Amino acid sequence: MSPQRQFGRACALAAGLLLIAAGLGGAPAMADPAPGSLGALAAAKGKFFGSATDNPELSDAPYVQILTTEFGQITVGNTMKWQYTEPARGQFNYSQADTIVNLAQSNGQLVRGHTLVWHNQLPSWVNSVPNNELLGVMRNHITHEATHFRGKVIHWDVVNEAFEENGTRRQTVFQQKIGDSYIAEAFRAARAADPGAKLYYNDYNIEGINAKSDAVYNMVRSFLQQGIPIDGVGMQAHLILGQVPSSLQQNIQRFADLGLDVAITELDIRMNLPRDTAKDMQQADDYRRVVNACLAVTRCVGITVWDYTDKYSWIPSVFPGQGAALPYDENFNKKPAYHAIANALGATPDTTPPSTPGTPSASGITSSTASLMWTASTDNVGVAGYNIYRRQGTTDTLLTQSNANSTTLTGLTPNTQYQIVVRARDAANNLSATSGAVTFTTLPSAGGSCRVAYRASNWGGGGGFTAEVSITNTGPTAINGWSLVWTFGNGQRVSYMWNASYTQPAATVTATNASYNGSIGANGGTQSFGFNGTFSGGNPNPTAFALNGTNCTIA
Ligand code: G2I
């Protein structure tokens, strides 16, 4: 029995005994257990939860720390592929894959073998093997590799991605030179070399019921009828935000009903960048659906994410402009998707908010900026960051967010009184109570050496608007590189900007010149940019603009 399964059994047993001790219907008298890792939570449900990894990442210590403690299973993301393991005919090399397998074993993690036969990452010599030799070459490769790892991998992805979207066979070198039978031959060779490993057919876009998954279904059913050794189907699940197939659970179930195991083998859920809160929430819901579909089918044995952090995802290099597909961000912070997975796996949701942060102190006040610091909050799990609000009467408006217990406010209006309060938040988005308020007044405008014309026009039908902004350098010195900062007063959001790039963490927008319009000549030089935005209710113009930290007059 795997360590994960032992852990799961032990927990279930302990909970059962406590239930008995507490009497019928009583809640177990267990102290709040520390939130378990995804691997441990899944193990308690009789499943694994794992991650793919790759050799270059293993020199990243914080990465390895999470990889080896959070996950019950590892998939070797690249270095078990043919390109690495038999780069020249008859010359085998497992050193990189061994490194990962050894790491996993020393941490009690299961290993999925990926993959023995695939048309991709195939060394070019294989394409030149004569037709009548390729079956022998394929069998030899499988036999050699599966023998090397015998007893060390729980599953083999024996054949990967052999079908087209319309359900026909992909015309790979194996298909063309060996014919339809190559897949069955591959499974026979794998069984002979490692009778203990479960043998999987693995593919993408087979998560829902469609022509491709039908073709895989028909193939594996005929394998079972013919006694060709196969144990499972791997659904890769490289999914798109908001597009978890509605037939996922039903599809898993139909393979299970054939007597096969199913694994979700390469899960990630990509979005158009940049991330925002709404997309993060959708992604969390998508991950929850996938986990719940697997939990609902006994023979769905586990889930593997295709690496766990956005730092090492394959998505941005293959789908430009997309990414943020994994449950940890590129700085190893847990995203809402992580918590959705953990909760679906039975974790006790964190409902405890952080403690109230200290009253901020303000320093370095200029006409448009102020630095704030406050005493940090504490949290039972961890403080994820702080929200910084401007208080006006009974309304607190979010100005910006900060990961640390300090921030610098920019884009403030000169000669204006501000009351600022902060609240801490944790990764489960619990908000602390509100700190005390600090009050300060910005300095009068330095006179300014810039002028801004801001012209917004709302679209018919409401909700959208287009703004044209022009900046005039009224000072005697040319400007090389500029950022213009303003704060929207009514929740407006920029959705698209031209002739400048922007960030908008909350109400405050920073627009930065494009490569070609960073220079603004002295004494009246001008540059402009524009953007589309959204609003609800009214769309009042911003009342202050700061260019490179200095307030501008408004034309
Ligand atoms: O493409 C995503 C996955 C789809 N299913 C099968 C998986 O095996 C596949 O994994 C990816 C790896 O995550 C990538 O890391 O397979 C890609 C190749 O098809 C891998 O990309 C390759 C790059 O193309 C190479 O340039 C690079 O040298 O990774 C190599 C190692 O980093």
Shortest-distance atom of ligand 1 to CA 236: 5
Pocket test for ligand 1, best of 55, 78, 80 (most atoms within 8 A of CB): 78
pLDDT at 13: 36
- The CA 266 to ligand 1 mean position distance, Å, reads 11
Q: Find out whether 85 and 47 touch, Cβ atoms under 8 Å.
A: no
Residues classed as catalytic:
161, 266
Residue ID of nearest Cα to ligand 1 atom 3: 266
Model confidence pLDDT, tens digit, residues 53-70: 999 999 999 999 999 999
Ligand 1 centroid to residue 162 C-alpha, Å = 16
The answer to whether the CB of 120 is under 6 A from ligand 1 is: yes
Domain ranges in the chain are: 3-344, 361-441, 450-554
pLDDT band for position 461 (cuts 50, 70, 90): confident
Q: What angle do helix axes 182-193 and 211-226 make, rounded to 10 degrees? A: 60
pLDDT above 90 as % of the chain: 83
- The 10s digit of each residue's pLDDT in 220-254 is 999 999 999 999 999 999 999 999 999 999 999 99
Query: How far is the first Cα of the chain from the last one, in angstroms, to the nearest whole number?
Result: 74
pLDDT in tens, 88-99: 999 999 999 999
pLDDT value at residue 7: 38
| Mean pLDDT value across the chain | 91
Least confident range from 31-35, 357-361, 467-471: namely 31-35
In ligand 1, which atom is closest to the CA atom of 52? 13
Give me the mean pLDDT over the 6-22 stretch. 36
pLDDT tens for 154-202 read 999 999 999 999 999 999 999 999 999 999 999 999 999 999 999 999 9
**What single-letter amino acid sits at 519?**
S
Q: Is the pLDDT of residue 276 over 90?
A: no
The response to whether residue 78 sits with its C-beta less than 6 Å from ligand 1 reads yes
205 lines ligand 1 (CB under 6 A): no
Q: Is the CB of 389 under 6 A from ligand 1?
A: no
- Ligand 1 mean position to 122 CA, how many Å? 11
pLDDT (mean) for 203-207: 98
Q: Is the dihedral of CA 312, 318, 321, 327 positive or negative?
A: negative
Over the stretch 70-94, which tens digit does the pLDDT of each residue have? 999 999 999 999 999 999 999 999 9
Spatial distance between the Cα atoms of 283 and 271, rounded to a whole number of angstroms: 8
The alpha carbon of 381 and the centre of ligand 1 are apart by a number of angstroms equal to 35
pLDDT at 9 over 70: no
- The mean pLDDT value for 500-505 works out to 96
* Phi and psi torsions of 389, nearest 5°: -120, 150
pLDDT value for 251: 98
* Range in 112-116, 177-181, 211-215, 503-507 with the lowest mean pLDDT: 503-507
- Mean pLDDT in residue range 499-523: 95
d(CA 293, CA 287): 10
| Number of other residues whose CB lies within 10 A of the CB of residue 382 | 12
15 pLDDT higher than 70: no
Q: Is the pLDDT reported for residue 533 higher than 60? A: yes
Lowest mean pLDDT: which of 1-5, 266-270, 448-452, 489-493?
1-5
Please give the distance, rounded to the nearest whole angstrom, from the Cα atom of residue 198 to the centre of ligand 1: 23
Least confident range of 115-119, 308-312, 332-336: 332-336
266 Cβ closer than 6 Å to some ligand 1 atom: yes
| Of 174, 159, 162, 149, nearest in space to 74 by CA | 149
CA 465 → CA 73, 202, 435, 507, 520, distances in Å?
Answer: 50, 48, 35, 16, 27
pLDDT category at 447 given cuts 50, 70, 90 is low
Identical fold, 3-344 and 361-441: no
Asked whether 121 lines ligand 1 (CB < 6 A), one says yes
**Residue 98 to residue 113: CA distance in whole angstroms:** 11
CB 96 less than 6 A from any atom of ligand 1: no
For 229-358, where are the E strands, in sequence order? 232-235, 238-240, 261-272, 300-305, 322-323
Q: Whose CA is nearest to atom 2 of ligand 1?
A: 314
What is 361-441's CATH superfamily?
Answer: Immunoglobulins (2.60.40.10)
Q: Is 51 in the pocket of ligand 1 (CB under 6 A)?
A: no
Residue 17 has pLDDT above 50, yes or no: no
Instruction: For residue 247, give every residue at least 6 positions away whose Cβ sits within 8 Å of its Cβ, in sequence order, or none.
Output: 208, 209
Q: Which atom of ligand 1 is nearest to the CA of 318?
A: 1
Res. 462 pLDDT band, cuts 50 70 90 = confident
Express each pLDDT in 117-138 by its tens digit.
Answer: 999 999 999 999 999 999 999 9
Q: What is the pLDDT of residue 364?
A: 86
* For ligand 1, atom 16: residue with the closest CA: 78
Q: How far apart are the CA of 313 and the centre of ligand 1, in A? A: 10
Q: Is 26 helix (H, G, I), strand (E, B) or coil?
A: coil
Q: Give residue 390 CA to ligand 1 midpoint distance, Å.
A: 47
What local confidence, expressed as pLDDT, does residue 79 receive?
98
Full-model pTM: 0.69
Q: Which atom of ligand 1 is nearest to the CA of 160?
A: 6
- Pocket perturbation via mutation, ligand 1, pick of 313, 314, 318 by most ligand atoms within 8 A of CB: 314
55 lines ligand 1 (CB under 6 A): no
Q: Which residues pair with 454 in a beta bridge?
A: 469
CB 314 less than 6 A from any atom of ligand 1: yes
pLDDT at position 33 over 80: no
Per-residue pLDDT tens digits for 359-389: 999 998 888 899 999 999 999 888 989 999 9
Q: Is 22 helix (H, G, I), strand (E, B) or coil?
A: helix
Sequence-ordered list of residues with C-beta below 8 angstroms from that of 394, at least 6 positions apart, any chain: none
How far from 124 is each of 170, 177, 440, CA to CA, in Å? 18, 15, 69
- Phi, psi angles (nearest 5°) of residue 291: -60, -45
* For ligand 1, atom 6: residue with the closest CA: 160
Q: Check if 543 has its Cβ closer than 6 Å to any atom of ligand 1.
A: no
Angle at the Cα of 213 from the Cα atoms of 230 and 267, rounded to 5 degrees: 85
Report how far ligand 1's centroid is from the alpha carbon of 215 (Å): 24
Question: HSE on the CB side for 404, CA within 13 Å?
Answer: 6
Q: What is the CATH number of domain 450-554?
A: 2.60.40.290
Place of tokens 């600022």: 420
User: What separation in Å is there between the alpha carbon of 169 and the centre of ligand 1?
Assistant: 21
Residue 274: asked if its preceding bond is cis (omega within 30°), the reply is yes
**According to the model, what pLDDT value does residue 24 have?**
29
Closest CA to 133 of 145, 144, 141, 123: 141
pLDDT band at 305 (very low <50, low <70, confident <90, very high): very high
Write the CATH number of the domain with boundaries 3-344.
Answer: 3.20.20.80
